[in-house]
Homo-oligomer: A and B are copies of this chain.
Amino acid sequence: MTYRAFINLLCLGNRAVTILNRSSGRLLHIQMGIRNIASQAERGFNPAKVAVVTKMTRYEFEQQRYRFSELSEEDLKQLLALKGSSYLGLLERHNIHTRNVEHIVESLQKEGMEVRVVKRGQYDEETVRWADAIISAGGDGTMLLVASKVFNKDQPVLGVNTDPERSEGHLCLPVRYTHAFPEALQKLRRGQFRWQWRQRIRLHLEGTGINPTPVDLHEQQLSLEQHYQAHREAGSLSKPYLLPVRGLNEIFIGESLSSRYPCHQTKPWHLEPPPKHECLASYYEISVDDGPWEKQKSSGLSICTGTGSKAWSYNINKLVEQAVEEVLRIGKAQMGLDIPLSRELIEKVTDEYNKSLVFGPEEGRMIFSIREPIVNRVFSSSRQRGFANRVCVRSRCWDACMVVDGGTSFEFNDGAIATITMNEEDQLRTVLLEN
């Protein structure tokens, strides 16, 4: 690295960037970008260059899905009808999204900002380097994708929900601004908002059989040769390697077949799978906050941020009233109590239990959740979940992956050790706007 690049690096104080950008030229590039952003941060939100990253609508998705079959629009109509989906319905949602994107872009341009519109498929590091601020135009999925490439805590990321009638968009601005974006923009420029810092998860990988190359889950399956090559190149990492991603919602670890997303590059679809139970269950060892290693077998392991504690992790851990009612009923009987269980009481208990699963996005801690633990003489599930500052996981899986925010996957097989922590410098800068 050149001396100049090294100095830039110091100014940056951001290791992540050095991983994504090894050439000093690029570092210089980023450093300049940052000067704008940093100064801008003081006097409200006033970027010169804004990238708008747009989601792919289901209409576009269906269109592309059958592109290779060379379908006409008429064929697509027919095909969707066969699938019980309404072509016109999809087209309407698509047009609503498109109109909302146009509204955002025009509003930004009216404010004299330079705008680049990028489809999520085309969104890359170059876009991130170019922009002073990035706007995600879609739902939470698009916001997660956008955030995944931003490593500079001074670079603001905003989410605008472009289909407010259909999706919630927890990570986006209040929905009313979708149709009143100029108003949002005014407030942002005048500084009538609060920065919302969202802590993120960083991953270190070490051990044997490691392949630190991220796999975009939207890519096609690698050939077995490539896979074999990857392994060849991989080998063993003596010291922990910081992976070039940050988790905004959660990290999910599990055997490919038990995870929500398969690891394409290692799945031998042309073969018999291993016996079912090995497929389903992920086998690993876990150490929380440098505590003792515990053997676990489960449908995977989730480690989430405060942001993610309202997402999938919440659904993994929350209890419904039915379960709470039964536990209280059994408990009452066991204690020989004769107190009526009112609906109100059950609701209160359920509510309090579930509230305890959620925490603030700015908090520097995580919740780990062992999903559907398998309990037998070998595997304890004494602690199915809990808060943690540092989680170490030793894989005993044989075709597993580590999935970050459902979008980026890393192989995580027997021999690999992951250290999961949080770090101030990984925070994502978003905005809080009053409704």
Known: A79-B228, A275-B55, A415-B84. A384 touches B322 (CB 8 A): yes
Q: Does A323 contact B (CB under 8 A)?
A: yes
Residues of A in contact with B, size category:
35 or more
A70 nearest CB across to chain B (Å):
9
Cα A373 to Cα B350 with chains together (Å):
14
Chain B residues with Cβ under 8 A from A224's Cβ? 65-66, 68-69
Tell me which residues from 133 to 175 in chain A have a Cβ below 8 Å from any Cβ of chain B.
Answer: 138-142, 144, 167-168
Chain B residues with Cβ under 8 A from A376's Cβ? 168
Cα A207 to Cα B217 with chains together (Å):
32
Contact B269 A220 (CB under 8 A): yes
A97 nearest CB across to chain B (Å):
11
Contact A416 B274 (CB under 8 A): no
**What are 9 pairs between A and B in contact, CB < 8 Å?**
A61-B268, A64-B268, A83-B208, A84-B416, A139-B275, A141-B274, A167-B275, A219-B269, A298-B315
Chain B residues with Cβ under 8 A from A331's Cβ? 324, 327-328, 331, 345, 349
Contact B276 A121 (CB under 8 A): no
Contact A398 B85 (CB under 8 A): yes
Known: A384-B322, A384-B323. A407 touches B218 (CB 8 A): no
Cα A228 to Cα B72 with chains together (Å):
13
A319 nearest CB across to chain B (Å):
7
Q: Does A374 contact B (CB under 8 A)?
A: yes
Tell me which residues from 7 to 63 in chain A have a Cβ below 8 Å from any Cβ of chain B.
Answer: 55-56, 58, 61
**8 more A-B contacts (CB under 8 A) besides A68-B224, A85-B415, A330-B349?**
A56-B271, A69-B224, A79-B228, A84-B414, A141-B278, A219-B270, A260-B299, A328-B331
Assembly stoichiometry (copies)? 2
Contact with B along A217-240 (1 / 0, CB 8 A): 111110011001001101110000
A278 nearest CB across to chain B (Å):
8
Chain B residues with Cβ under 8 A from A129's Cβ? none
Tell me which residues from 267 to 306 in chain A have a Cβ below 8 Å from any Cβ of chain B.
Answer: 268-280, 298-299
Chain B residues with Cβ under 8 A from A209's Cβ? 82-85
Q: Does A352 contact B (CB under 8 A)?
A: yes
Residue A299 contacts which of B231, B315, B324, B416 (CB distance < 8 angstroms)?
A: B315
Chain B residues with Cβ under 8 A from A375's Cβ? 318, 320
Q: Does A321 contact B (CB under 8 A)?
A: yes
Q: Contacting chain B: which of A181-189, A192-200, A332-340?
A: A332-340
